[in-house]
A and B are shown apart, each in its own frame.
Chain A
């Protein structure tokens, strides 16, 4: 146990020294500057995800369907919003999401929302999470319960298969004692 801990600390020290020399060479090549005061740009999830480093700190507008769950954490809420390409996490004050009525799942189409806010690629205050800090949420379209009509073809196939299974089951129990 002591040996393992000692080895861990030794490795950590060696790595930090080596890592520092690597990082220093790269610092000047990575000029990320916050663009939170610029005009927000409307983006799809794909555009955000493919260039997270570029959009880090910038104001974005993202439109999509609220899905899954509204997860309250104190005065704020986690909400996941998806468009045709992917899903973006939204961190918003509770008051801003009070108008959300439908959340997308099997039985419901969720409310379509337009979120304006600041995108964070890997916020250290949130353990490295990627999300949009909502500054404004607008309801675009109200969600609704989805209807799933029973397929007549599926019902017919079920009945046919049931008959087949019954016949085969009967044969299985009739045949086995004879061959044994």
Chain B
């Protein structure tokens, strides 16, 4: 028997959505200030309109749905899935008002791409976009990478079990600190400390590459947000290729890896347990997977001698592999070159890297290293079981912050989530093929969207069919939230219509 949600349940959902919208509106003040300094009056108006609209909507929800009830698990999941949709819709408003997106759907696509830290883009004439709008695109990635809920938890919600349910709904199951609000604040501390360091280094690298100082700092802050939050946006359509700067590329590589590290691991390492980074199952799996897949990519690129020389192989081959594995999506070649120059084997290496992803509770997406590590351990445990005497009692352990015994529940969860992701990648590929694109390219783009990576082989463009744009929006949304919140949302909608 499905119970129909009551008015009080809808009020809880509405109340927390209102808080999220108010939180989002505060972020719009930042590009407003930048547009004011740069004397960009039309963009300033665009953000003012969006800010006031968000404030009005947030206040309206707050007034209409005022409640002191704590959210339950189902509320948390529904709030999160709707919060992401709403945030993308509202985040798209200033983009659409700029006139650089053909339609609201295109602007919504970019906003969802930013928030989900994917990085696929449909922007037009990007080189003439204002500083304010450029910054907003990257800020969306920064907010999304941290988690919209983290915004609410850090500033608007008192800690407690209700807050915890919101936190988990956003596909973060690592509890860093006993108090969820403090966990949220710690995540922001890590991001802000690296923001300052990363912006400085990137800005200086860009300045050394010939860009004027303040412009270099602006590029530094934008590229940092895109790199650390593994989003992949860049201020120019050529992406990282625009800079022609090896030092800049090297810095982005470091920041991408930092962004793909579990926030719980950041906390552990920053607390003094520095050796944890070498013992953790995720960091070890990450190294093993990167090297194995680079082997595939190099073999593939060597088949037709695409790149001549170790430096070229590193700057183009390894760069894209790391960009794919961390889920960032920075590119140093044209999208068409993946199809025209890279062989199927090297593209397969990239697709695998995109499908596997970074660490859990990081800014990266896709299946994630903890699950890969668990599946690998499960496989080895099964092999040991077969070769051991029947009476032997075997316990498989893994090291993730502390020594843990591998349980059946963990193995099952890892396998189920992996199957879900693979299914979604293939579903997206089918959608691409239905729109007339070849299999390899469709799979590449679909994996990039659902894995929240952002590498493109050319399918993503303003002329893409609207049905495919909507498909990729759903894939990005579902991939970011790891499906569960969305299933609960659909279930709640069904219950609302059919429940008793």
- Measured CB to CB, the residues of A under 8 A from B are 4, 7-8, 11, 15, 18-20, 22-23, 26-27, 30, 49-53, 67-73, 77-78, 80, 82, 86-87, 89, 104-107, 121-122, 124, 126-131, 146, 148, 150-151, 154-155, 157-158, 161-162, 164-165, 168-169, 171-172, 175-176, 179-180
Contacts and interface: CB of A to CB of B under 8 A. Distances in A.
B276 interface: no
Interface stretch (B45-53, B136-144, B424-432): B45-53
B289 interface: no
B238 A106 contact: no
Contacts of B238: 80, 87, 89
A112 B430 CA distance: 42
Nearest to B296: A15
A127 B210 contact: no
A11 B293 CA distance: 11
Lowest 8 CB-CB distances: which A-B pairs, in order?
Answer: A128-B312, A71-B210, A161-B52, A168-B59, A124-B309, A67-B127, A19-B302, A124-B308
Given A128-B315, A165-B55, A175-B63, A30 B244 contact: no
Contacts of A179: 66
Contact of B210 (A72, A164, A171): A72
A130 B244 CA distance: 10
B128 A150 contact: no
A4 B40 CA distance: 53
Nearest to B97: A154
A170 B212 CA distance: 46
7 contacts: A8-B291, A51-B340, A77-B210, A126-B244, A127-B312, A161-B56, A179-B66
Contacts of A27: 305
> Chain B's interface: helix, strand, loop or mixed, by majority?
helix
A19 to B, nearest CB: 4
B189 interface: no
B102 interface: no
Contacts of A71: 209-211, 243-245
B382 interface: no
A4 B215 CA distance: 41
A144 to B, nearest CB: 13
A78 B255 CA distance: 25
Given A69-B210, A80-B242, A154 B45 contact: yes
Given A146-B128, A148-B42, 7 more contacts: A104-B127, A105-B127, A122-B341, A124-B308, A127-B312, A148-B41, A161-B56
Interface string B58-74: 01101100101000000
A18 B128 CA distance: 48
Contacts of A86: 237, 334
A106 B337 contact: no
Contacts of A169: 55, 59
A127 B302 CA distance: 16
B46 A15 contact: no
B303 A26 contact: yes
B404 to A, nearest CB: 23
Contacts of B295: 11, 15
B465 interface: no
A18 B48 CA distance: 60
A165 B56 contact: yes
A34 to B, nearest CB: 14
A4 B278 CA distance: 12
B52 A162 contact: yes
A106 B312 contact: no
A131 to B, nearest CB: 8
B30 interface: no
Nearest to B35: A106
A89 B244 contact: yes
Nearest to A161: B52
Interface string B372-398: 000000000000000000000000000
B298 interface: yes
A23 B302 contact: yes
Given A51-B340, A169-B59, A73 B210 contact: yes
B48 A158 contact: yes
Contact of A127 (B42, B53, B311, B334): B311
Contact of B236 (A19, A87, A148, A162): A87
Given A86-B334, A154-B46, A168 B307 contact: no
Contacts of B352: none
A41 B275 CA distance: 59
A73 B71 CA distance: 58
B45 A151 contact: yes
